[in-house]
Structure 1
Amino acid sequence: MSELNSRIALLRRVPLSSLRVFEAAGRSGSFIQAAQELGLSPSAVSHSIRKLEGTIDLALFERTTREVQLTAKGQLLLEHVQRGLDEMHRGFALAHSNEPPPLRLHTAPSFATQWLMPRLGRFVQAYPHIDLRFSASTDYAKFDNDDFDLDIVYGEPRQTLHEKVPLAVEHLTPLCSPEVAERIHSPQDLHGHTLIQCEVQMLQWKGWFEANHLLPPHHYALRFDRSAMAIAAAVNGMGVVLESTLLAAGELEKGTLVAPLRALTHDIQYIGHYLVYPRRRTRHEAFEVFKKWLLDELGVR
């Protein structure tokens, strides 16, 4: 029998009621409390746990005369059983709800601030019936708990079981305010200006100088941990930032930032952001709508 068939056969032998008893006992750390919660006798809880342990051939609890405690395997199983029960509760709630579930989007902070937020109004106007829940942080979204439907991440995820779609090719080039640009006529002029870096950016000033066969400076006066802050510093005339024209598209369009050396140097091109989402047979009904809108806005075909 294959491993998959063995798992299916095992699940068929484990009744849902046994898993509910195990979850209550594992969560509370007490057969008595689990019995009170489920309206059973302590002996019925103990019998159900022993039957479950026999069925799956695992010791789930360490028992003493005064207490019970989960084994390491029991703790591992409890976490997955709890997620499974939570998913079933969520499914029942959604099935009984008359309102469509919200589309939960997670994104990298600077992408959210610099690119997505200025355009999100168009999505809301075009699809007012979609309840969009928006969150931004540097952490990757955890789809296991069903907290999010999709995630826009900075940098390619190294190892993931989820689907990942590369977004637009981004161009890194020196950007600054028009006033600062008046004093920049050649790449060598950069050595006389404050160079702003975003420390979490995959490609830094040193790489840009080397790609353009130029000697990089030894000192950088301003460093930020968010592209949005680095871009804002450049807008305020604090120096020259090496940044993505995608993230700085709004400032370039308004003219608060310019690219003084673009005709004289080579941009660094790379894919900076990815759309990530779990592999599921069924998806949120608004998922494909948002995905298509996002790719269309980015010009991705």
Structure 2
Amino acid sequence: MAEPDSLIAQLRRVPLASLRVFEAAGRTGSFVQAAQEIGVSASAVSHSIRKLEDLIEVALFERTTREVNLTAPGRALLEYVQRGLDEMHRGLALIKSDEPRPLRLHTAPSFGMQWLMPRLARFVAAHPDVDLRFSASTDYAQFDNDDFDLDVVYGEPRSALHEKVPLAMEHLSPMCSPALAGTLRTPQDLYQQRLIQCDVQMLQWKGWFEANRLVAPRHYALRFDRSSMAIAAAVNGMGVVLESSLLAQHELESGALVAPFRGMTHDIQYVGHYLVYPRRRTRHQAVEVFKKWLLDELSVGRCASPG
């Protein structure tokens, strides 16, 4: 196996034209079709690929008298070469376009709806030159496909390939409408209430009861798969929800929700959301603009949080 330094030197000698020929042959599965596409002879395609194989010391195709097929290393390389060529085409299109490159943001749905949307107008007003594209789903952004520049995810990302920035320390505490709060005197009163639970939340009612040395109920009257729906149910007086001070910050500040046991019981504290982006030498300039704005807004929110 080649040493790292010699391998790097070896890769630097690979002509871009050879990779273009390899991509066409690998995609079409035919030296003849690749030759017609590129505008050279089939023998020139064969010679170029053979030279590439000799240079990197890896067989990329299995050849028979009737056909050529990619080897396993050839299939792996084709994926990366196609991705690299796509990036170059995208870069060329970008510098020739008069339109600014959009900032493509992906978020977890409840963070996007509960925390980001009420504040997004401030970012748009402060940075009118940023063309923001906003999407929300429970799936993580696939940066390899270049679909997004930034992702706000729920739960700590496992991938070591991306940068991850913890956003805020969140407090989970029981919350309800002011009218319902008037009927609650002690934590034991929760046993007579509808307890609203978000099933995708990392920490739930059982953990809160245990943290406060109370027996957890076995039944929960209302369960949702989005924090935004669980919070809305509590605002409408449907029960008591265990929710994040970050996601319910707007409702707490407006008085639509209150935390009746704040200071009387132990909140569960955890980092729930992370800002994630790929490790690249060059990034969209607006990435740093949005990142700074986001962290500044979170800092203001921490100072203004009730309780």
Decide: shared fold, TM above 0.5. Answer: yes
Q: CA deviation at 1:2?
A: 8.0
1:254 corresponds to which residue? 254
Q: Which residue in 1 is equivalent to 2:141? A: 141
Percent of aligned positions with the same letter in both sequences? 77
Q: What's the C-alpha RMSD, in Å, of the aligned pairs?
A: 1.8
For residues 49-76 of structure 1, the C-alpha deviation after alignment (integer angstroms, 9 at most, x for no partner) is: 1221121111211223332221111110
Cα distance in structure 2, aligned partners of 1:23 and 1:259: 60
Q: Say if 2:57 is the partner of 1:57.
A: yes
Distance in 1 (CA, whole Å) between partners of 2:296 and 2:63 is 59
Cα drift, residue 194 of structure 1: 1.6
For these two proteins, the number of residue pairs brought into alignment is: 301
* Deviation at residue 8 of structure 1 after TM alignment: 2.0
Cα distance in structure 2, aligned partners of 1:39 and 1:200: 55
Moved more, 17-26 or 279-288: 279-288
Q: Tell me, in whole angstroms, the C-alpha distance in 2 between the residues paired with 1:218 and 1:103.
A: 45
In structure 1, the partner of 2:121 is 121
| SS of the residue 1:286 aligns to | helix
For residues 136-190 of structure 1, the C-alpha deviation after alignment (integer angstroms, 9 at most, x for no partner) is 1222222223222211111111342222111111111111122322322211111
Deviates more, 1:280-289 or 1:209-218: 280-289
Residue correspondence of structure 1 range 209-248 to structure 2 within 5 A? 209-248=209-248
- The 5 Å alignment of 1:259-270 reads 259-270=259-270
Moved over 3 A (4+): 1-4
Please name the residue that 2:7 is paired with: 7
Alignment of 1:281 with 2:281, yes or no, is yes
In structure 2, distance between residues paired with 1:34 and 1:81: 15
- Match for 2:192: what amino acid? G
Deviations 1:204-245 (A, max 9, x none): 111111111111111122222211111122222222110001
TM-score (norm 1): 0.94
Distance in 2 between the 1:181 and 1:202 partners? Answer: 25
Q: Give yes or no for the alignment of 1:202 onto 2:202.
A: yes
Instruction: Check whether the contact 2:11–2:56 (CA below 8 A) recurs between aligned residues.
Output: no
CA distance in 1 between partners of 2:12 and 2:291 (Å): 37
1:191 and 2:157 matched: no
Distance 2:239 2:65 in 1: 71
Summarize the alignment of residues 79-94 of structure 1 with structure 2, pairs less than 5 Å apart. 79-94=79-94
**Residues 149 and 287 in structure 2, CA contact (< 8 A), matched pair in contact too:** yes
Per-residue Cα deviation, 1:92-129 (whole angstroms, up to 9, x for no partner):
12222333311111111110010001100110011101
Equivalent in the alignment of 2:305: none
2:62 aligns to what SS in structure 1?
strand
* TM-score normalised by L of structure 2: 0.92
In the other structure, the counterpart of 1:22 is 22
Question: Secondary structure in 1 aligned to 2:285?
Answer: coil
Structure 1: runs of 5 or more not aligned = none
Structure 2: where are the runs of 5+ without partners?
Answer: 303-307
Instruction: Name the SS for the 1:264 alignment partner.
Output: coil
Code of the residue aligned with 1:230 in structure 2: it is A
Moved more, 20-29 or 213-222: 213-222
